[in-house]
A and B are shown apart, each in its own frame.
Chain A
Amino acid sequence: MKRLLTTAAIFATVALTAAGCGGSGGKSDSKTFEFWSFTNINQKGDVDVYTKAHPDVHVKLTEVGSTTETAQALTTALAGGKVPDLVLIQADDLPKFMQSPDNFVDLTTMGAGDIKGNYLDWVMAQSTTQDNKIIGVPTDVGGLAVAYRTDLFKAAGLPTDREEVAKLWPTWDDFINVGKTYVQKTGKPFVDNTPTSVFFQAVNQGSERYYSADRKLDYGNAQVKAAFDLTLKAFSAGISAKQGSFSTGWTAAMKKGDYAVVCSPSWMLSQMKTNAPETNGKWDIATIPGGSGNWGGSFLAIPKRAKNPKAAWNYISEMQSPKGQLDHFLMQGSLPTTPSVYTDPQLVGRTDPFFSNAPIGKIYTQSVLGIKPFYFGPQDGPIGTEFLNTLTSVEQGKVEPAKAWDTALTNVKNAIRG
Chain B
Amino acid sequence: MLSPAAAAPHLRTPGRRRRVQQSVRERLAPYAYISPFFVLFLIFGLFPLLFTFYISLFDWNPIGEHRFVGLENFTELVHDPRFWGALRNTFSIWVLSTVPQLLLALGLAHLLNHARLRLATLFRMSVLVPYVTSVAATTIVFAQLFDRDYGMINWFLELLGFEHIDFTASLFGSHIMIATMIAWRWTGYNTLLYLASLQAVPRELYEAAAADGANGWKQFLHVSIPSLRPIIAFTVVTSTIGGLQVFTEPLLVNPVGGLTCGAARQCQTVTLYLYEQSFGQFHFGYGAAVGVALFVIVVAFSAFNYLLATRIRTERP
Contact = CB atoms under 8 A, between A and B. Distances in A.
B280 A396 contact: no
5 contacts: A247-B256, A389-B264, A393-B169, A410-B81, A414-B80
Interface string A98-132: 01100100000000000000000000000000000
B32 interface: yes
Interface stretch (B46-54, B116-124, B128-136, B141-149): B141-149
B36 A7 contact: yes
Given A8-B32, A382-B281, A396-B170, A79 B264 contact: no
A72 B279 CA distance: 7
Contact of A5 (B32, B81, B258, B260): B32
Interface of A: 1, 4-5, 7-8, 11, 68, 72, 75-76, 78-80, 99-100, 103, 243-249, 252-253, 258, 382, 385, 388-393, 396-399, 410, 414, 417
Closest 10 interchain pairs by CB?
A: A79-B62, A392-B263, A396-B169, A389-B263, A393-B264, A247-B256, A393-B263, A78-B63, A100-B64, A244-B256
Contact of A75 (B62, B171, B260): B62
Given A75-B63, A79-B63, A249-B148, A414 B169 contact: no
Contact of B25 (A1, A68, A252): A1
A132 to B, nearest CB: 21
Given A244-B256, A247-B256, A99 B64 contact: yes
B170 A398 contact: yes
B76 A417 contact: yes
B150 interface: yes
Contacts, number: 85
A397 B148 CA distance: 14
Contact of A248 (B29, B61, B63, B144): B144
A398 B35 contact: no
B271 interface: no
A76 B279 contact: yes
Contacts of B61: 100
B32 A4 contact: yes
A390 B260 CA distance: 12
Interface of chain A, helix or strand or loop or mixed? helix
Nearest to B149: A249
A171 B143 CA distance: 38
B45 to A, nearest CB: 15
A248 B170 contact: no
Interface in B55-103: 61-64, 76, 80-82
Nearest to B73: A417
Nearest to A77: B63
Nearest to A244: B256
Contacts of B81: 410, 414
A404 to B, nearest CB: 11
A100 B63 contact: yes
A10 B92 CA distance: 47
Contacts of A391: 263
A417 B282 CA distance: 13
Nearest to B26: A1
B147 A249 contact: yes
A252 B149 contact: yes
Given A1-B32, A4-B32, A252-B150, A245 B256 contact: yes
Interface string B263-295: 110100000000000011111001000000000
B139 to A, nearest CB: 13
A121 B129 CA distance: 59
A22 to B, nearest CB: 15
Nearest to A8: B36
Contacts of A390: 263
Contacts of B169: 393, 396-398
Nearest to A396: B169
A246 to B, nearest CB: 5
A76 B62 CA distance: 8
Contact of B282 (A75, A103, A244, A410): A75
B291 to A, nearest CB: 17
A93 B144 CA distance: 30
A134 B245 CA distance: 43
A415 to B, nearest CB: 8
